[in-house]
Amino acid sequence: MKPTLLFLVVGAAGLCWGQAPPDCKPNALNIPEAKYPCIFPDNRVMYRVIAPNAQSVRVGNTNLTKGPDNIWSGTTAQPAVEGFHYYGVNIDGATVADPSTRTYFGSGWWNSGIEIPAPDQEFYQPKEVPRGRVSEQWYFSKITGKWRRCFVYTPPGYDGSRNKYPVFYLLHGWGEDETAWFNQGRVDFIMDNLIAEKKAKPMIIVMDNLNAVRPGESATRFASRGLVPDPSDRPAPPPAPRAAAGAPGAAGAPGAARAGQPARAGGGMLGNSAFTEMMLTDLIPMIEKTYRALPGAANRAMAGLSMGGGQTRSTTMAHLDKFAYIGLFSGGNISMAEIKDPAAFKKQIKAVFFGNGQAEGGTAASKPAAEELKKAGINAVFYESPRTAHEFLTWRRCLREFAPLLFK
């Protein structure tokens, strides 16, 4: 097995030896000079991998064929769905990242990434506008008994000024970590563009890791898949092969399984009380001490995608005196039956947002829930991302729609 992996690691240089078809454009997430994977105008994807000693190479459902140059090649049969997708290369049964792309932590491991152009992609692209910054912040948590890391977006103009800003706490989903929103989600580009267009107010955004447990508690619910040995007492079956980006059965394809999503919002593992306690005891005080953050519920928003939406729901509904804005991105909804005091809820919560992808099936529940809240006089907004499923383009679009509602 060692020779196979050795050739894969050096394959990034080899990918530049062959020329891609003229109408197949290199993936925007490829490392410098890598020509593959590349994307055809119809959004089919061609992969090429150097693994001369391998017996089989597959990307999702696409079996690659070994050529006379010892390079394995293949093109997806169906167009990929627009947006960002994780993928891996399976070589003789071992799934590894493609060395030709940058890597992204999702679904419990470091994956390769591919970006299929979307018709509205300008909103998450870098532009010649004033830029904010994303910085790494370490702090010690008394609740978890460990050092923790979060990433903090500060808006254009923060450095060098004395202004104070409201704070938006933004969570990732299961199998991801605190890097997800500024890597896969492009939160800084989205916010810089919205602020420059005066569609959103300048704000601080805190991206923490929702995988928090108290000392002595099991963290296996958050564990990566494929660890040796399996960290749980009852090892889960190995994951099914991942389909090529946007192909049938792939994350981001209509009818796809929700990658890395073991349960829906509102119950079980999605209501982590340790994170809520840590957030209120450690994270918020640290942010308000370290950054020029405006205090108080009126200056705090919380949102999350998938499992992070479930955590947002759990945290905010239990502490309505701490937040004024709630966003659930593919993270369920809030019904009137769950609101014990509608008058108090309406007074405290300035906006509630439910969003999901058209292809993931959340509209049937979330849209009526938002309409029910509206009838009660609560500022509730529902958004459906066209053509997308349980994936980052859905959540980038949700962020674009939710951020302008904040701190008005």
Span 43-71, pLDDT tens digits: 999 999 999 999 999 999 999 999 999 99
Residue 98 lies in a domain: yes
pLDDT in tens, 249-280: 343 333 333 333 333 333 344 567 999 999 99
Residue 266 lies in a domain: no
Q: Which of 100, 98, 81 is nearest to 89 (CA)?
A: 98
Same domain, 99 and 196: no
Residue 245 lies in a domain: no
Q: Which of 295, 281, 332 is nearest to 311 (CA)?
A: 332
Please tell me the total count of domains within the chain.
Answer: 2
**Domain end (from 115, 138, 165):** 115
Same domain, 162 and 49: no
| DSSP code per residue over 265-309 | TTSGGG--HHHHHHIIIIIHHHHHHHS-BPPSGGGEEEEEETHHH
Same domain, 196 and 315: yes
Q: Which of 110, 17, 20, 11 is nearest to 54 (CA)?
A: 11
Same domain, 198 and 69: no
Kindly report the CATH number assigned to the domain that includes residue 347: 3.40.50.1820
**Domain end (from 86, 115, 144):** 115
Q: Assign 18 to helix, strand or coil.
A: coil
Measured CA to CA, the distance from residue 247 to residue 175 in angstroms comes to 21
**Residue 149: CB partners within 8 Å, gap ≥ 6?**
136, 137, 138, 178, 209
Same domain, 21 and 93: yes
Q: Which of 269, 360, 264, 370 is nearest to 327 (CA)?
A: 370
- Phi/psi of residue 379, each to 5°? -75, 90
Parallel/antiparallel/unpaired status of strands 325-329 and 204-207: unpaired
- Split at pLDDT 50, 70, 90, the class of 379 is very high
Instruction: Find tokens 């660890």 and name the residue.
Output: 227
- At 253 the pLDDT is 35
At position 371, the amino acid (one-letter code) is: E
- pLDDT above 50: residue 2: no
pLDDT in tens, 119-168: 999 999 999 999 999 999 999 999 999 999 999 999 999 998 999 999 99
**Domain end (from 82, 115, 148):** 115
For the full predicted model, state whether its pTM sits above 0.75: yes
| Arithmetic mean of pLDDT, 19-40 | 94
- At 219 the pLDDT is 80
Same domain, 189 and 304: yes
- At 20 the pLDDT is 75
Instruction: Find tokens 């104070």 and name the residue.
Output: 164
Mean residue pLDDT across the chain: 87
Same domain, 63 and 158: no
Same domain, 111 and 134: no
Same domain, 389 and 288: yes
* pLDDT over 90 percentage in the chain: 79
Please state, in angstroms and as integers, the Cα–Cα distance from residue 272 to each residue in 203, 336, 365, 395, following that order.
Answer: 26, 22, 23, 21
Measured CA to CA, the distance from residue 102 to residue 113 in angstroms comes to 7
- Phi/psi of residue 266, each to 5°? 110, 0
pLDDT in tens, 175-221: 999 999 999 999 999 999 999 999 999 999 999 999 999 999 888 77
160 class by beta-carbon count within 10 Å (0-12 exposed, 13-18 middle, 19+ buried): exposed
Q: Which domain holds residue 32?
A: 2-115
Same domain, 127 and 110: no
- Split at pLDDT 50, 70, 90, the class of 224 is low
